[in-house]
């Protein structure tokens, strides 16, 4: 494993993380690393609105969180795990 040092590490390459990392990378006085746990968005179901339900079922593309129990119930909370 490489042991490089960076001035700034952006964790999460979702829409906001990519924009922040891109903005920071334009500066020549700092080094920036962008870290993402997920995969690329090459799965065609990501780009098809009808494929939304299929994507939510795949661990490869979605973090499957649950809320803290409130009044005896918890809710599913899904978050994307892909670039962009």
Helix, strand, coil percentages (3-state) for the chain, rounded to 5, are 25, 25, 50
β-pair partners for 35: 11
Residues 81 and 53 in one domain: yes
pLDDT tens readout for residues 12-70 = 998 899 999 999 999 999 999 999 988 888 888 888 888 888 888 888 888 899 999 99
Q: Which domain, by its residues, includes 30?
A: 1-36
Are the C-beta atoms of residues 9 and 35 closer than 8 Å to each other? yes
Residues 23 and 60 in one domain: no
Q: Give me the number of domains the chain comprises.
A: 2
Residues 6 and 32 in one domain: yes
Residues 48 and 84 in one domain: yes
Residues 25 and 51 in one domain: no
Residues 27 and 61 in one domain: no
Residues 28 and 58 in one domain: no
Residues sharing a CB contact under 8 Å with residue 75, sequence separation 6 or more, in sequence order: 66, 67
């Amino acid at each position: 494993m490489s042991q490089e040092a960076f001035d700034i590490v952006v964790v999460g390459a979702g829409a906001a993380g990519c924009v922040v990392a891109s903005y920071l990378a334009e500066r020549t006085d700092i080094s920036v690393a962008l870290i993402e746990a997920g995969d690329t968005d090459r799965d065609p179901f990501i780009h098809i609105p009808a494929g939304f339900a299929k994507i939510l079922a795949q661990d490869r593309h979605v973090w499957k969180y649950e809320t803290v129990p409130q009044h005896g119930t918890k809710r599913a909370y899904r978050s994307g795990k892909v670039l962009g």
